[in-house]
Amino acid sequence: MNHDPYTDPVSGVLRNRLGITDEERLRRAEAGLSFAALADLGTRTLPGGYDLPHLREFHREIFGDIYPWAGEIRTVGIARSDPFCLPQHIESYAEEVFGALAKERFLRGLARPGFVDRLTHFFAEVNAIHPFREGNGRAQRAFFRQLSREAGWMLDWSGIDPDANVEASMASLRGDLQPLRSLLDGLVDR
């Protein structure tokens, strides 16, 4: 088995600034600290170019108090039911995806159906990149919440069903965007 440099070799728990070696304790601490950081990010704009460095900054803001590697591109392969982008392809794939997002003017000026369609596409692409060892979903949601706000739309994740979110994200990895589009359609408002 390959060694994961992000985990403690004895406990197998993600290395963290809190010195926690129990997975459940770390999960609870991470949930509390990331919730507070996400609430803070919801009240302000994090400057950036809606590109990989900007997404990295979101991750650093959310997880910097927890993980020393917050905001760093992962160096190991990861998967849920399907594998995410291999580490050696993250930067080039991200450049392509975020370049296309810029060409589409960061989704500004779109009517709601077009906005939801393109949001679905780009959310699925960024999800496939999954550039961090942990915390990708929360960083992506904060990133796209701010992008949506700047495009004139509200993206409210507060009532999301976590299981439906995971299922929609996994379906998008297999090329089925409909569950993700349905999910996002229920979260976008003026």
The whole-model pTM stands at 0.96
Task: Give all domains of the chain, ordered by start, each with its CATH number.
Answer: 23-189 (1.10.3290.10)
pLDDT digits (tens, 9 = 90+) for 29-41: 999 999 999 999 9
Q: In the structure, what pLDDT confidence band is assigned to residue 81 with cuts at 50, 70 and 90? A: confident
Task: Give one DSSP letter per residue of the chain, joined into a string.
Answer: ----TTB-TTT-PBP-TT----HHHHHHHHHHHHHHHHHHHTTS---S-SSHHHHHHHHHHHHTTT-TTTTPPP-S--BSSSB---GGGHHHHHHHHHHHHHHTGGGTT--HHHHHHHHHHHHHHHHHH--SSS-HHHHHHHHHHHHHHHTT-EE--TT--HHHHHHHHHHHHTT--HHHHHHHHTTEE-
- Of 3-7, 58-62, 101-105, 129-133, the poorest mean pLDDT is in 3-7
Mean pLDDT, the chain, integer: 97
Give the rounded percent of residues in the chain with a pLDDT score beyond 90: 96
Q: Establish how many alpha carbons lie within 13 A of residue 189's alpha carbon, considering only the half-sphere containing its beta carbon.
A: 5
pLDDT at 3: 80
Q: Is the pLDDT of residue 1 over 50?
A: no
